[in-house]
Structure formats: C-alpha cells, structure tokens
Structure 1
Amino acid sequence: MFRTALAAFLLAATPAAAQQLTPQETAQVDAIVARALQSTQVPSASIAIVRDGRIVYAKAYGDQGPGIAKGPSTDAKYPIASISKQFTAAALLLLEDEGKLRLDDKVAKFFPDISGADKVSIRQLLSHTAGLQDYWPQDYSFAAMEKPVTPQEIVDRWGKKPLDFEPGTAWQYSNTGYVVAGMIAEKASGMPLLDYLNARVFKPLGMKPVDQDLAIGKGYPLPTHRFALGPVRPAKPAAHGWLWAAGELAMTASDLAKWDIARIERSVLTPEDWKEQETVVSLTGGGSTRYGLGVSLGEHGGTPEVSHGGEAVGFLSSNVVLPEKRFAVVALVNADFGGAQDAITDGVTNLFFPVAAAAPAQNLNQVRDALARTLYDQLRSGTLDRAMLTANANYYFDATTTGDYRDSLTALGAPVSIVPLGGPRLRGGFVNRNYAINFADRRLIAITYAEPGAAGKFEQFIVMPGE
C-alpha cells in the first residue's frame, strides 16, 4: 500500500510560502524528517517551522495514503488530537473576558450532577487537577468506541464516578475533564464549541480546521498503526464523538503554526490570557504540575517552552513553541506508533537552538577522585585551599610540609594521570582512597583519608614514591 521511502521522499511537496531557510538548513531539516520516518516506518509527516514570528518552511513527506491524489501535500489536514485542548482552554479564557464565566467558578454552576461539582473549578478541569477519571487512558480504541457517543454520554459514564483524588491535590491527565470543560463553554456561549472557536479564533487567524471525525477518506491522510514490529496497517478511527473538546480538531501543519504565531505575537487572545494559559498550575501542597491551561510548560536551553502532543487512532502530533525566541515547529504524522513526531520537533528545535548535552552525573567515587586531583594540583602549585582539610590535616601541612610538597612536585610537572588504586575502604571513621600518580618516567602513590560523603574534608593526603 505504501510507496518505498525513497520514492516517497522524491515525491515530497515543494515547500510552501517564502523559503526563509538557507540551503544547508533545508537539507538538515529534510534529513531530520527522513531519519525519523525511515527509522520508525511511519508513512508520512507534514511539518511547519516558524522563525522570527513567520512561517518560513512548510513541507509534506512520504506516503499520506490513497486519499491524497497528488501527495504528499501540505494542504492535507491531520488530526491534532490533544493539541486541541489548548483551543478549548482558549475558548473559556475568551468567555471569561466576555463576563460569561470565571475560571474559578465551580462546575456546579453549570452542571451540578458532575462528581465533585461543588469542589471542582473550571481552572482545575483545564489543568488536569480536578480528579475526574480519564475515559481514554488506553493507546487503542476499546469496544465502546465502535459506536458514536455524545459528550453527555461520556460524562454520564465517567464524569459521575468518585473522584480519583481531592481537587487540586494531584495532577492526572483527564480527557473527561476537557469534555466537561467543552460542555461548559457551549452552555456559557450558547454556541457549539467549534462554531465559537471558528468565530473568535480560527477565522481571525485564517485557519481552516475541521472536525477530526469528518477528516476521513478522500482528501485526508490515511491513519495507520502497527502491532509490535508487524507490518504497517490501516487503522480504523473511533466512532464519532469520542474526542470532541478533548481533541476534536484536524488541520494542516501551517494552520497550527498560525496559532503558534498568535501565541508569539500575543494576538487574538489578550496578553493576560496568554500569560494565564502559560502559567504553571501549582498543587495545594505546593508541588508543580509543569502544566498550564491546555499546554505543557518547560524550558529549552534556559528559555521557556510551551508544547503539547496529541494522539488519535492512527495519528500522532507534536507542537513546540519557544515564545521568547519567536520560534515554533509543528510535526503531524499519520501513524500512532514510532514517535517520529517528537523526533522531528526535537531535532528541528535543537538544530536552530542547540543545547549542549548535560554531562552525566558523577557518582560519589568520581567526585572524590576529582577532589583528590584538585588537592594534588594545589600542593604542587603551593596554593592550598585549607577549607578542604580537617583540623588535623591543616596541622600536618605546616610551612615546612607545604614547602617540600611544592618544591618537589613542581619539578615533576603535571602528571599524565591520577588513577584510583583499588576501591574505597573505611577506617577510623574516615574513607581511605589511594591513587597512582603517573608520569612519563615514574610513578608516585597518594594515600588519602577523608570524611564520608561528597563534600567530606581530607584528613590525610600523603604523597610518596611509587614502585
């Protein structure tokens, strides 16, 4: 069913809009996508890149399936699934601006029969801190999803179960909470949720999303999945209604990039609303959720990062925005396996804003070995940091001792290596570690004792000739 990878990439669509990337950057981006698709066997991807607040690159790759006659096409709309949550949250922020609700209103004001309605706030629904049990934790369609469902039916089955925890005390992803939030938005606005978003968000931004339940067949990418390492197979979407306010939208990568630009420019929503969406919600005990209102919050190389992923049957998506850098990247794929979408957004983000890999954490012995090398170098140069020594060691290293260490060791120059001899041993309340200090033509031995722990002071550091 799917063309070979080579043929698919040769058929990749021409980049849309003005080409703002250098030829080298274009080649690097294409290579990132090619590696992600080839290593995972994901059939296709559609991406968009925002730089300096503008869409500078949009391209589709691979095999989008038989519904795309002249694919791959950047015009193909992919379900973005849970990335839709930030739009549901935006609707409620706008309704608050209109005076039709407050985010700290209790659910009971609108739907008193929801579990914990008198304790759960709208803000807690949007931040996954309400305690409502998630109706779709699985990464596959369960039996009930063979049949269409309404938001009320979802709420009747899952939204009236006992809360999983006291509201505000924990964070637990809940699609159920977003269905309730969508119902509140419709009740407060008097409009279907998608109609409200079209009027207030999508049309002003020139976006043309559709209900993902309708994004099936001709003109749309084919959803796919795999069982273990088996062949890539067409996936059967869930019946109508199962994603709704928790993930109801399908759109192009460029459409989602337009929303990212609005976030960067602080348009459509007020700056205060954007800030509220991007503020980490804290738990009542003081812990951080690393989540705002429909968005995950983190950092990339020290700069704030706003992101979210999405999963529908046969599709995955990733959206990453660095507002302070005026940068964003979108990756949509027609497969619910493999993680190609994250490999693409991570790779492209790191391409334009590289972050040095964090050095692996040192274990205790490595820390102590480094301190031993530091102390040896101090003795060799005559610049002893006495804060590293116990009172006894400071007594030992008097003027005569430090002078002899400095004069004799300086003449040897820097050692080729300082290598531990054996492992650490306890003795007299101290930890004994011994070292071979190697030079090109000779070896010294250091016999050390130190207080336990990474910051333990040295009780002894005696250097003597080796074999």
Structure 2
Amino acid sequence: MLRLPPALTPVLTLACAALCLSVPAAAQPLTPAERAAIERAVTGTLRETRVPSAQVAVVRDGQLVFEGAWGKAAETIPQARPDLPYQIASNSKQFIAALLLLLENDGRLSLDEPVARWLPDISGADRITPRQLLSHTSGLPDYWPHDFAFAATAEPVTPDQIIARWGRQPLEFEPGTRWEYSNTGYVVAARIAEMAGGAPLWQQLDQRLFAPLGIKPLPLDDTNAAGFPQGYHRYATGPVRPARPAARGWLWAAGELSMTAADLARWNIARINRQVLPPEDWEQMETPVRLADGSRTTYGLGVARRSAGGRTRIEHGGESVGFLSQNAVWLDQRTAVTVLTNADYGGAENALTNRIAAIVLPKLPPVPARVADTGGRVDEIRHVLAALAAGQIDPARFTPNAQYYFIPGALADYRASLSTLGAPLSISSTRSPWLRGGFVGRAYSVRYKAQRFRLSTYAEPGENGRWEQFILYAD
C-alpha cells in the first residue's frame, strides 16, 4: 500500500471548522464521513494524476461548509494552504459578464447595440453586439486557442495590442450564426466596459463585485511571483516541471483573476442567493443563447449551463499556463463545488469536481458511455506518435507555434514516454470536431498495451492542415 508523502497532508482552515459548526439548523454541514471521503478523493486524485496540489471549497444549502488544500503549492511552498490565491483564468469571464450587465442597468451601454459605438475599428463592429462577445457568438477569432504558451506570449502585451492584432482579422462567421469560444471577445468586451464605466476594469470589478462580497482577488499577472502558487507542466508521461508563465497582459479580461477557492465559493453563494446582481441578470447569465437559426447553445454570458444525470449545473473551467480550475453550481440543490489546481495536465480539476459532487449531492444515476468515432486523421496521428517516440517531429507538418512548444526538453520527455510502448493499439476520437481560433480541434483516446493517453489537437482547416497543437496527456 502506498503511503502519501507529507506534501499531501491536508490543510483545513480553523475558520472553516468554526463556520461549519455555526451554520443555521436548516443547513446541512458535511458529516465526518463526507469530509473523510473528500480527503480520500483529493489525495487519491493527486496521486493518480501527479498534479502537485489542489484547493477545494464546498457550498451546501447556500453556506460555505468546507475549504481545504492539499499538496505542494510551489517549489518554495511545500504545503498548500486554503488562503493562497490560485489562478482561476477563464473562470474570471463570469465577472466580466456581470460587470457589463450592471453597466447596462446603469444605462451606460446596451448588450444589444453595435460594438461600433465603442470600437468602430473591430471587424464586423456594425454587426457584433456586446451580448455576442460575452456568449462567444461574435465571430471574432480566438487569440489563444492553445493549451500551451505560444511564441508571442513570451513578450508583454496590452489589451489594445491584442485587439489590434486579432480583433481586426476577418470574422470566422457571421455574428450570431455559430458558437465558437473566443478570448478575443472578452478583451473587446472589457475595453467597452472601461469606456462605458469611465474607470479601469479592475477598479470597477472591485467596487461593484469584489468589495460587496468581501472577496479579495489579485490580478493574475501579479501572482506569477515568489510567495504564490506555482504552475506546473508535464510532457506526456515525463517529469513534472515548473511551467514558465506567459508575460504580462495576455490573460487580461479573458482570465484576469487569482483567488482562493473560498472566494470563488462566496461568488457562488451570491449566485445561489441572487445577491449583488438583480435576479433577472443572473437569469440572463445562466440562459444559453440562441443562434440565428433558432438553435440553442449551452453557453449564456460567462458561464455554461449543462444537464447530466437529471441535474443541471452552471459551470465554467479555467486554464492558464500551469493551472486548471473548475467551478460548478447546482442551483436547485443550493450546492457548489470549486476545485483549483496548479497543473495544466492530468484533468484533476474535472475528476475532483465530479467525485466531490457525488459525495455532497444525492447519488447520480450512471451516465451511458460515449460511442467513439474512429475518424479524423488517425493514420497521420500514428506517424506523428512514431516520430515523437524517436524524439522528433517533421517541422513542415507543424505551425511555428507548435514548433515553439516542442522544445528539446519536450521532445526528450515524449521520447522517454513513448519509446518503450510500441505502436498504439487503438486511436479513437472522443468528440466531434470543433472550430476555435481558425483551427479545427479534435480530441482522441490513444491506447497502448501498458498506457492510455488523451490527445488534444488543433490543426489548420483541410485534410492536410498543419498541426497547431499536438499534446498527449497521461490518462
């Protein structure tokens, strides 16, 4: 039997224990058995995925009933703590959407007016609305579709530089006709918020959302420093390595915030209780938008709404360099689970969200297995995997950004990971292709005799489009 290293010893705040004892009788604090089950779920998942640390918060009956941290937060912080702010990245988008709704309530802007009122040089500005920016239906290309830091992110950037480079490219589709995730849209939306609100973005967020809730996030860029959780990366099954963060400015508005799981839980409580925003604004955020042909998406304004096992949850994920997070709210059950991790691999954030939900919610019925589709460039994937097993790639088949990802250390880790496994037994797609940032995204399951991987790819359109991303994750 494996013994957990000291770094996986849980840290729980005394405030949490006191809070759990003082909740009203109507609330249902976690039982000792539930707390023990959460601890087993977290420590087991960190061990399985080799993710260095996790921070967790649980809301039940609209009350914060649990917060804890496990593992190593950084090379200089061997024990994670619940009071350390983790990078929540795209979980920040719901705060941007909330701010624009408040500005609309003030009469300073309309979510359904043309963006041209504020930024006339944006492509399609006379046809795009702020609502479409917030719902990812604007057609603006995504400036960061990758799951790694591409070459340009090595240098600092400003919001206006992002807008000038990506916001003026040709639209990928007519506004309102398709859903395609776009970080660019949120940078444009936040600049509109600054102009309409007459103050910097952070000042408005703090005055209108953070201060009323008593939460104290930090700008994400400020937490890429000593004294804060450090992000980690892994190439295939290679060693876990500290990740090199992007330069300042790249996640502005698209992933602005670092905060504790408990702070994000307090935002979830506001959602559950319909506080800070009028109830109708919360409804707008949580209602999936319809496309021009009448079909409904699963995304509202800054959050997604998904149903599974007879329940509906409001959720979003977040990814920055070296960090993954997941935040889920079950409104009908007045329950929420927040999981923050300091690794951009492994899928611990999703696994833990589901495992903890199974502990704190009534048992869910089993979900039928997904039927895999075996189409989609499988033969070429086999060739790429064989080359990676030899520590090589064919540069002509990869874009400059993908070549930037495959540094010598990455190729060495891929070679060490794959060279002894032989040829894959099977490669099957796990979801239908999607479009993002001008690339075709695909996801696969790759099975060897002794190892399974998840493969995430983006490629230029067309049968022979070059690879923009080709990343294996140990499964």
What TM-score do the two structures reach when normalised by structure 1? Answer: 0.75
C-alpha spacing 1:361/1:100, structure 2 compared with 1 (3 Å): closer
Structure 1 residues 108 and 344: alpha-carbon distance in aligned structure 2, compared to 1, 3 A threshold: same
Q: Is the 8 A contact 2:123 2:167 kept in 1?
A: yes
Give SS of 2:45's match: helix
- 1:162 corresponds, among 170, 181, 205, to 170
Report whether the alignment pairs 1:190 with 2:204: no
Q: 2:223 matched to which residue of 1?
A: 215
CA distance in 2, matches of 1:275, 1:11: 37
* Structure 2 residue aligned with 1:456: none
Q: Which amino acid aligns with 1:47?
A: V
Distance in 2 (CA, whole Å) between partners of 1:9 and 1:67 is: 15
How far residue 12 of structure 1 moved from its aligned partner, in angstroms, is 3.2
The answer to whether residue 328 in structure 2 is matched with residue 320 in structure 1 is: yes
Letter in 1 for 2:188: V
Report the equivalent of 1:247: 255
Q: 1:54 to 1:139 in 2, by over 3 A?
A: same
Partner of 1:136: 144
Match for residue 51 of structure 1 among 53, 60, 84: 60
SS in 2 for 1:230: coil
Residue 123 of structure 1: aligned partner: 131
> What CA deviation, in whole Å up to 9, does each residue of 1:396-427 have, x standing for no partner?
xxxxxxxxxxxxxxxxxxxxxxxxxxxxxxxx
CA–CA separation in structure 1 for the residues paired with 2:108 and 2:275 = 21
2:11 corresponds to 1:12:
yes
> Equivalents in 2 of 1:337, 1:123: separation in Å?
32
Written as runs of structure 1 = structure 2, the 5 A alignment for 1:366-385 is none
Cα distance in structure 2, aligned partners of 1:287 and 1:359? 25
In the alignment, the residues of structure 2 paired with residue 81 and residue 148 of structure 1 have an alpha-carbon distance, to the nearest angstrom, of 17
Aligned to 1:90: 98
Aligned counterpart for 2:287 among listed residues 267, 279, 292:
279
Whether 2:339 is the aligned partner of 1:331: answer yes
CA shift at 1:83, angstroms?
0.4
Q: 2:87·2:323 contact (CA, 8 Å) conserved in 1?
A: yes
Q: What displacement does 1:65 show? A: 1.4
State the Cα distance separating 1:15 from its structure 2 match.
6.1
Q: Percent sequence identity over matched residues?
A: 53
**Any idea what the Cα deviations from partners look like across 1:271-314, whole Å, max 9, x if unmatched?**
01000101110111122210000101112433321000000000
Q: Which amino acid letter does the alignment assign opposite residue 8 of structure 2?
A: F
SS at structure 2 position matched to 1:116: coil
1:79 Cα deviation from its structure 2 partner: 0.6
> For 1:56-95, what aligned pairs fall within 5 Å after superposition?
56-68=65-77, 71-95=79-103
Alignment-derived partner of residue 99 in structure 1: 107
The answer to whether the 8 A contact 2:231-2:242 is kept is: yes
Letter in 2 for 1:231: P
Partner of 2:240: 232
CA radius of gyration, larger in = 1
**Which residue of 2 is the match for residue 309 of structure 1?**
317
CA contact (8 A) 2:12 2:67 kept: no
Aligned ranges for residues 164-179 of structure 1 at < 5 Å? 164-179=172-187
Query: Normalization by structure 2: what TM-score?
Result: 0.73
What is residue 37 of structure 2 aligned with on the other side? 28
After superposition, the Cα gap between the structure-2 partners of 1:186 and 1:206, relative to the gap in structure 1 and judged at 3 Å, is same
Give yes or no for contact 1:211–1:250 (8 Å, CA) kept in 2.
yes
The 1:314–1:358 alpha-carbon spacing in structure 2 relative to 1, beyond 3 Å, is closer
Aligned residue number for residue 356 of structure 1: 365
Contact 1:253 1:330 in 2 (8 A): yes
Match of 1:289 among 288, 292, 297: 297
Please state how far the C-alpha of 1:194 moved relative to its aligned partner.
1.1
Partner of 1:409: none
Unaligned residue ranges in structure 1 (runs of 5+) = 363-467
**Residues 236-255 of structure 1, C-alpha deviation per residue, up to 9 Å, x if partnerless?**
11000000011010000000
SS at match of 2:5: helix
- Once the 2 structures are TM-superposed, how far is the Cα of residue 22 of structure 1 from its aligned partner? 0.9
- Residue 324 of structure 1, CA deviation: 1.4
1:129 aligned counterpart, secondary structure = coil
**SS of residue paired to 1:330:** strand
Preserved contact between residue 133 and residue 186 of structure 2 (Cα < 8 Å): yes
Aligned 8 A contact 1:106 1:120 in 2: yes
Tell me which amino acid in the other structure corresponds to 1:66: E
Quote the RMSD (CA, aligned, Å): 1.6
CA contact (8 A) 1:16 1:58 kept: no
In 2 relative to 1, CA 166–28 (structure 1 residues): closer, same or farther, beyond 3 Å? Answer: same
Higher mean alpha-carbon deviation, 298-307 vs 230-239, is at: 298-307
Alpha-carbon distance, 1:361 to partner: 9.6
Q: Equivalent residue of 1:164, what SS? A: coil
